[in-house]
Amino acid sequence: MAASDGISSRAIAPEEADRLFSVLGGYRKLAVAVSGGADSLALMVLLAEWRRRTPAAPDLLVFTVDHGLRPEAAAETGMVAELARARGLDCRILTWSGEKPLANRQAQAREARFALMTRALAEEGGDALILAHHLDDQAETFLLRLARGSGVYGLAAMAPVATREGIAILRPLLGVAKERLVASLVERGIAWCEDPSNADPAHARVRMRRLMPDLAAEGLTPQRLARTASRLSRAASALDCWLHDVLARHAEVHPAGPVRVPLSALQDLPEEVLLRLVSHLLTRVGAQAYPPRVEKLERLIGELAQAEGAQATLCGAVVRRTASALVVWREHGRVSPEPLRAQAPGSWVWDGRFAVSMTTLDRLEVLALADARRRDGGGVGLVSPEGWPAQAFDRAPCLLRGDDAPYCPGFGRAAPPAGVGISLRPLFQAAKSSGNSLNSLHSRMT
């Protein structure tokens, strides 16, 4: 446990907390992610107090995750649960079970934590997940991405309201310095936990954090860095308006997943918008949580620029340049997606791209079309649509149910079997991505 002295005067006052949390009033049920560290613990405490004095406040849950990576983790999650319940909040302790990775543990732990919490949020019928990212996080993230060579999208600030994999993410503390969260705990006499990895210089974020005092002395304060990131967010949003207009007017999305955009629609696009468009398509069609690095995008574009028919793979997707268009489809890869098998009514997501539902008591199976054809000896009676590369449908969903004919969206048959629904999840919702300048794709291809 850790504490701090001499800064309680900078604690967050109730009226300031009311302003910070006023954006939460339109929700019905929220969950707050709490690790036991000072940031998230202060968020939980301030939210609990706000909820008590706000009659129309939404229901509030606490999620805390035991990653099983440190022996102290169980005691820390127990402490979070005890503090939460003492403030009238229900708390769920989520456990990351199974074998743990030996490399890149922090990143994989973050992914596991997000998966556990989003699953729990759905089970609880919650509307959004609240995270404790603050001003210092914003500044550190900006510097980390700057060091990686990110462009306008990568350097853009974290948003106070965002969506990730269909989950609403709320960050009400982005304008608050970490020391003020610490001060808020000190003022209340609440101790918190310290993860040793947060002081380990093996991690780039820790090294960047140690540079912050020297940078601040030169005028690069967390506030100034965060303001710069915010201005880049405005620029990214403006570019995204352009991007989504191009996609809405020109992109053809097949119900089974592939997308194509005519090269003529790319002719006059600024370099930054063009790069964003390609990144966006790859990320969405490939069902990835994060966009590819700029350097990889540049190499991919270079390969496509060589000749008509050029093809490259990145981010779980394949992109091919034809005589008239860019065509992007889900890579089938060496490992096929797990088949979806159901015997009762329910709703599911297959391959991270398709929403599937069934209202009947039948045996339903959804698997990649290439796997269905292989298992059936090349048959299943489905002919790929004309005008598209045949392999663009290898990872299209094939629905098999009892004596019903096999069904694949957009393969001639108008609707799936009775009682079964399937739809491609939206491809063109706004998403953060890294960006950089790049020679015009259209000018290099035509």
Residue 210 is part of a domain; what is its CATH number? 3.40.50.620
Amino acid at 192: W
Residue tagged 């540079």 (tokens):
211
Q: Which of 123-137, 138-152, 278-292 has the highest mean pLDDT?
A: 123-137
Q: Which of 23-32, 96-105, 160-169, 177-186 has the lowest mean pLDDT?
A: 96-105
- The answer to whether residue 102 scores a pLDDT higher than 70 is no
Q: Which of 131-145, 290-304, 358-372 has the lowest mean pLDDT?
A: 290-304
pLDDT at position 391 is 93
pLDDT at position 35 is 93
Report residue 7's pLDDT band, with 50, 70 and 90 as the boundaries.
very low
Does residue 1 fall inside a structural domain?
no
Does residue 2 fall inside a structural domain?
no
Asked if 392 contacts 329 with a C-beta cutoff of 8 angstroms, the reply is: yes
C-alpha dist (Å) from residue 356 to 332, 345, 349, 400, 409: 20, 11, 6, 12, 12
Q: Are residues 122 and 221 in the same domain?
A: yes
Average pLDDT value for the chain: 88
pLDDT at position 253 is 95
Boundary-marking domain end, from 194, 227, 260: 227
380-384: average pLDDT: 80
Does residue 246 fall inside a structural domain?
no
- The answer to whether residue 99 scores a pLDDT higher than 90 is no
Beta strands in 315-426 (DSSP E): 317-321, 325-330, 340-342, 346-350, 354-358, 364-368, 397-401, 420-424
Does residue 243 fall inside a structural domain?
no
- The answer to whether residue 437 scores a pLDDT higher than 50 is no
Q: Are residues 278 and 189 in the same domain?
A: no
5-23: average pLDDT: 82
Q: Which of 6-20, 94-108, 358-372, 409-423 has the highest mean pLDDT?
A: 358-372
Q: What is the dihedral of CA 180, 185, 191, 192, to 10 degrees?
A: -50
Q: Which residues, in sequence order, are bridge partners of residue 340? A: 366
Asked if 446 contacts 438 with a C-beta cutoff of 8 angstroms, the reply is: no
pLDDT at position 443 is 40
Q: Are residues 211 and 255 in the same domain?
A: no
Does residue 3 fall inside a structural domain?
no
Q: Are residues 269 and 207 in the same domain?
A: no
Report residue 440's pLDDT band, with 50, 70 and 90 as the boundaries.
very low
Range of the domain at 174: 8-227
- The answer to whether residue 25 scores a pLDDT higher than 80 is yes
Q: Are residues 271 and 211 in the same domain?
A: no
Q: Which of 100-114, 247-261, 315-329 has the lowest mean pLDDT?
A: 100-114
- The answer to whether residue 439 scores a pLDDT higher than 50 is no
Q: Are residues 310 and 429 in the same domain?
A: yes
Does residue 335 fall inside a structural domain?
yes
pLDDT at position 9 is 52
Q: Are residues 33 and 182 in the same domain?
A: yes
428-437: average pLDDT: 41
Report residue 378's pLDDT band, with 50, 70 and 90 as the boundaries.
low
Q: Are residues 208 and 275 in the same domain?
A: no
Q: Are residues 138 and 223 in the same domain?
A: yes
Beta strands in 198-296 (DSSP E): 252-253, 259-262
Per the structure, the count of domains in the chain is 2
pLDDT at position 342 is 94
Q: Are residues 196 and 262 in the same domain?
A: no
pLDDT single digits (tens) 307-320: 889 999 999 999 99
Query: From edge to edge, which strands make up the β-sheet containing 311-314?
Result: 252-253, 259-262, 325-330, 317-321, 311-314
Q: Are residues 322 and 444 in the same domain?
A: yes
Query: From edge to edge, which strands make up the β-sheet containing 346-350?
Result: 346-350, 354-358, 420-424
Does residue 236 fall inside a structural domain?
no
pTM to 2 decimal places:
0.75
Does residue 232 fall inside a structural domain?
no
Q: Are residues 223 and 256 in the same domain?
A: no
